Structure 1
Amino acid sequence: MDTLKLVEEKLPTLSRQERKVAMRVIQDPDSVKQMSINTLAKAVGVSNATITRFVKKMDCHNFYDFKLKLTENHSTNSNKVEKGSIPDEVFSFYKHVLNDTWESLDVTSLRTIVDLISKCNRIYIFGIGSSGYTAQEMTQRLLRMGIAAFPMTESHIMYITSGIMGKNDIILALSTSGNTNDLNRAAQAAQLNGTKVIGITGIKKSPLYELSDYPILVKNSNFVDNTRFINSQFAITYALDIITTMLLENKTYSDRMNHTVEMILDNKFRTK
C-alpha cells in the first residue's frame, strides 16, 4: 500500500502525539523526506521515541526505512499544493481533494446507494456542525424530487428519532472525521430496528465507516492543509452531487425537480 495512504488509514489508531507526526507526513511529505528524526521531532513538538513508535506502526524498522518507503511511493509532484496567488493555492487545494475523492469512489456502490434511496420510505440525513448545513442542503434537493427526507442536525433529536425508524427507512450520515459520538450512537440505535446506514466520511476505519452498511470514503481536507479556513465539506458535497445526479436520471425525480424549480421562479417573479 502507498505509504501516505497507510498513514491516513491508521490515523484513528494512533496516539495524540503520534497523530502530530502523521499529519505532518500527510500534509508535507516532501519536507519530511529531507528531515532527520531530530528535526521532525522538533518541528511537530514530540520526542524522538514518539516518531520511532509511529514508524514501527507503519511497518518500518526505523525512521530511515520510513523515509525510503515514502520516497518510493510518493512522487514529488503528486497532488502538490502549488504556491502562487491565493486563488491558485485554493484551486490547487480543491483539485487535490477532488482528485483523491474521485479515485476512492466506486460507481457500483454508489448505484446501489441510489437504488436504496429510491426505494426507502424515509431518509434521515444526519450531520452536526458544518455537516449539519450540508445535511440541510441535501434534504432540500431530495424534497424537490419528492423523496421524504428529514434533516437531523441536533444530537438529542437524532437519538429520539432513531427509536422510531424502521427497516424501510435509511440514514445518510455525514461526518468528515467519522468520530462524532452522538451521531454514531444514534445511527447504531436505528440499526437495531433494521434501518440501513449510509455513511460518508473522510477517515477509513473511523467508527462511522465501520458501522455503516454502505460506507463512502472521501478525501479529508485536513490531510491536505488544516492551517487555513477551507471548506471541509467540499469532498462530501462532491459525493452528494454524484448521488443527486444519479437520482435525477430517474424521469419522475427529474420532472418533480423541474416542476419545483419552475414554481420557485414563478413565485419570485410574481412577488416583484
Structure 2
Amino acid sequence: MNILKLIEEVIPSLSRQERKVALKIIQNPQDVQTMNISTLAKMVNVSNATITRFVKKMNCHDFYDLKLKLASSDSKQTKEITKGSIADEVFSFYKDVLGDTAEKIDQAELNQVVKLISNCRRIYVFGIGSSGYTAQEMAQRLIRMGITAYPMTESHIMYITSGIIQKDDVILALSSSGNTNDLNEAAELAQKNHAKVIAITGVKTSPLFNLADYPILVKNSDFIDNTHFINSQFAMTYVLDIITTLLLENDTFKQRLSRTVEVVMDNKFRNNN
C-alpha cells in the first residue's frame, strides 16, 4: 500500500504524539524527505523515540526506509482525466475560474487586507445563501487562529450587528453578484459606524464592490458557460485560501492553529487510545 494512504488509514489508532508526526508527513511529504529524524522531531515537538516507534508501525525498517517509501509515493503518477469526460469538463471549468481570478488578484491589496484582519478587534463574515456556507467556513478558520470571528448568514442579524459595530471591527462581505440588497445595506451601515468593509465579489460594477473599503474582484462563475450544478463559490474560496495562508505567516496565528489542530485530533481519536 502507498505509505501515505497507510498513514491516513492507521492515524486513528496512533498515540497523540505519533499523530503529530503522521500529520506532518501527510501534509508535507516532500519536506520530510529532506529531513533527518532529529529535525522532524524538533519541528513537531516530539522525541526521536516517538518517531522511531511510528516508523516501525508503518512497517519500515528505519527512518531512511520511510523516506524512501515517501519518495516512491511521490513518483507514482496521478490518475489521468479522460478527455471529453464529465471529470474533464468540471476540471476545465475550475481551471478557467482559477486562471481568470489569478489574473485579477493584486498582492498588495491582499497584504493590506491581511494586515487589517490581523489587527482588528472582531471580524464579522457576511454571506447569504451559498456565500453563507463559505462565510461559516472562513469564520471557523479565523477562530482556529485565535482571531475573534463571527459568521453572519441571516440578513436581520447582519443589520443588528452593523448597528452596534465599533471602529476597530471589520466586515468581510462575500457575494458573487455583489448585488444582495440586505447584505449591502448592512455593510453600508457598518461603515457609518466607522468599521472597515472588505468585499469579495465577482462584479466590479456592483454596489458591494463600490461601497467596500477593500474590494477584491474574483471571476464570476456565471460568466463561464456552466449549465451544470458546479460550485459557484470556487473563486471566492481560492482568494480566502490565499488570505488564510498569508495570515499563517504570522507565527502567533500559526502556533494557535497548530494547538487547535492538536486539540481537534485528540478529540477525534481519544477513544482509540
TM-score by shorter chain over 0.5? yes
- What is the rounded CA distance, in whole Å, between the counterparts of 1:265 and 1:225 in structure 2? 41
**Where does 1:42-191 land on structure 2 (aligned, <5 Å)?**
84-191=84-191
Deviation at 1:225, TM superposition (A): 2.3
Deviation at 1:268, TM superposition (A): 1.1
Task: Give the TM-score normalised by the residue count of structure 1.
Answer: 0.69
With over 3 angstroms needed to count, the CA separation of the structure-2 counterparts of 1:95 and 1:265, relative to structure 1, is same
Deviation at 1:252, TM superposition (A): 0.3
Task: Give the TM-score normalised by the residue count of structure 2.
Answer: 0.69
- What is the rounded CA distance, in whole Å, between the counterparts of 2:202 and 2:83 in structure 1? 25
- What is the rounded CA distance, in whole Å, between the counterparts of 2:271 and 2:184 in structure 1? 44
In structure 2, list runs of 5 or more residues that go unmatched.
Answer: 1-81
Deviation at 1:148, TM superposition (A): 0.3
- What is the rounded CA distance, in whole Å, between the counterparts of 2:128 and 2:83 in structure 1? 33
Deviation at 1:83, TM superposition (A): 7.3
- What is the rounded CA distance, in whole Å, between the counterparts of 1:228 and 1:244 in structure 2? 29
Q: What is the letter of the counterpart of residue 185 of structure 1?
A: E
Aligned twin of 1:27:
none
Deviation at 1:232, TM superposition (A): 0.2
Aligned twin of 2:28:
none
Q: What is the letter of the counterpart of residue 97 of structure 1?
A: V
Deviation at 1:246, TM superposition (A): 0.1
- What is the rounded CA distance, in whole Å, between the counterparts of 1:179 and 1:271 in structure 2? 48
- What is the rounded CA distance, in whole Å, between the counterparts of 2:132 and 2:88 in structure 1? 29
Deviation at 1:271, TM superposition (A): 3.0
CA deviation vs aligned residue, 1:104-127 (integer Å, no higher than 9, x gap): 000000000000000000000000
Deviation at 1:227, TM superposition (A): 1.6
CA deviation vs aligned residue, 1:187-210 (integer Å, no higher than 9, x gap): 001100101100000011101000
- What is the rounded CA distance, in whole Å, between the counterparts of 1:102 and 1:222 in structure 2? 17
Aligned twin of 2:43:
none
- What is the rounded CA distance, in whole Å, between the counterparts of 1:225 and 1:235 in structure 2? 15
Aligned twin of 1:268:
268
Aligned twin of 1:210:
210
Establish whether residue 249 from structure 1 lines up as the match of residue 249 from structure 2: yes
**Identity across matched positions, percent:** 71
Aligned twin of 2:200:
200
- What is the rounded CA distance, in whole Å, between the counterparts of 1:226 and 1:152 in structure 2? 28
Question: Runs in 1 of length 4+ with deviation above 2 angstroms?
Answer: none
Deviation at 1:226, TM superposition (A): 3.6
